[in-house]
Amino acid sequence: MAIIPEDLYKRRHFGTPQSVSLIVTNYIIVVIAVQVFAMANPIHWLFWVVIGLLAIYNFFQMRKNREDLDRKNLIVYAVSIVLLLVVFFLLRLKVTS
């Protein structure tokens, strides 16, 4: 008969960290905005409005969850922004060629 460890049900799950939710939201919004507004050769002005609103959303979310943002999470967030720029240029590569 298998014995279940006592602490199995005492483990806590803290859910998805806010920084991960913010990063996923950024990628979803930017990919959709690029596909809808930035696939023409001159980028539509609504794309920049969406990016601006996303930046404001990021600012307030980071300010609201300031206690969760330690050095590691800030580095991950910064790297995700750089990779988001790479995704933007890769998606735009189809338009220029």
5 located within any domain: no
**49 occurs within a structural domain:** yes
Model confidence band, residue 24 (pLDDT cutoffs 50, 70, 90):
very high
pTM tops 0.95, yes or no:
no
Burial per residue of 7-43, b for 16 or more beta-carbon CB atoms within 10 angstroms, e otherwise: eeeeeeeeeeebbeebbeebeebbeebbeebbeeeeb
Q: Is a pLDDT exceeding 70 seen at residue 1?
A: no
7 found inside a domain = no
Place of tokens 């999470």: 73
| Higher pLDDT, residue 82 or 4 | 82
Residue 2 inside a domain? The answer is no
Number of domains in the chain: 1
Q: Is pLDDT at 93 greater than 90 in this prediction?
A: no
Domain membership of residue 50 as a residue range? 18-96
The residue-averaged pLDDT of 55-79 equals 89
